[in-house]
Amino acid sequence: MDTKAKVWLVAAALAIVYVVWGSTYLAIRVVVEEMPPLTGMGSRFVIAGVLLGGLLKLRGVDIRVTRRQLAGAALVGLMLPLLGNGLVAIGESMGTPSGVAALLVASVPLFITAFRFLAGERPRLWSVVGVLLGFVGLAWLVLGGNDQGNVPLGGAAFVLAASVFWALGSWLQPRLTLPDNIFVLAVHEMWTGGAMMVALGLALGEDVNLAEYGGETWLAWAYLVVFGSMLAYSAYVWVLSNAPIGLVATYAYVNPVVAVLLGWLILSERITSAVLVGGLVIVAAVAVVISVERTPKREEESTLEPV
């Protein structure tokens, strides 16, 4: 492939990661208006896992794994799809605006750095500065947003908890026995996490009435399955192998901007001073941490799972 063509492909893949992953928060907000959050998101991941597995089989990829690899993938599925995405969906179902949810989830690199510190690693000075700055931004966003009437504290707490679990799962992932093929890992991570999410939703008494959901809800759900969980993740994995990690990692502070703008444009979500100031502080803090930290490639990959 010539250099010019590769540059265009990298640009296209990054555009998909930027826009599609940034738009998933909007789609989740639309889905949970009618669908229960856990069974709605759980079914999305089960279907996405089955479809991706089928595509891999058609391409001749062996998706079989050992019991230990399946157990590792299931643990990732518990931490990321269930406790990560599932709690985001619950938070949004409680009224948290999609843009605010994206800004809260943008704190994941900050929590990962905190876990590394607790595990005995010595972070660089600027990493500590970035983490502290990020937590100031989170406090400003949540407390200031609550005062301005657009951030329910309960919903924000669920999304922040999701960020912590997402960070913990991302930090644990390179320490687990997992399939070598990242796409095979995605298949087993999604279907196991999705199945656990559906089971938990049903156990908690979520009421599933498929015939009562409107066309917008089903369209947003399908968008999450095909574009959020399959297309964007495939684009990410490809661009990760064909572009510098520093360039790929810019998703972490571009996605929230996309989410805030889409929430304002499509759902008329307010961009208050708390969202603007707190969001800018969080994005700046994440940019500092990402630029300072240079972790092994395997761990960097684990922080960039699909939303």
The residue whose two tokens read 């994440």 is 286
In whole angstroms, give the CA distance from residue 145 to residue 48.
34
Question: How far apart, in whole angstroms, are the C-alpha atoms of residue 106 and residue 288?
Answer: 13
Residue 296: the pLDDT is: 46
Claim: this prediction has a pTM higher than 0.95 = no
Per-residue pLDDT of the chain (307 residues; tens, 9 = 90+): 667 777 888 888 888 988 998 999 999 999 999 999 999 999 999 999 999 999 999 999 999 999 999 999 999 999 999 999 999 999 999 999 999 999 999 888 888 888 888 888 877 888 888 888 988 988 888 888 777 677 888 999 999 999 999 889 888 888 899 998 888 998 999 999 999 999 999 999 999 999 899 999 999 999 999 999 888 888 887 887 777 766 777 787 788 889 999 999 999 998 888 889 988 998 888 888 877 765 444 444 444 454 6
Query: Is the separation of the CB atoms in 109 and 303 below 8 Å?
Result: yes
Helices and strands, number each (H, E), in the chain: 16, 0
- C-alpha distances (whole Å) from 82 to each of 35, 47, 182, 192, 215 are 16, 15, 19, 9, 25
Print burial letters for 261-295: b (CB count within 10 Å at least 16), e (below 16).
bbbbeeeebebbebbeebbbbbbebbbbbbebbeb
Please report the pLDDT score of residue 293 as a whole number: 64
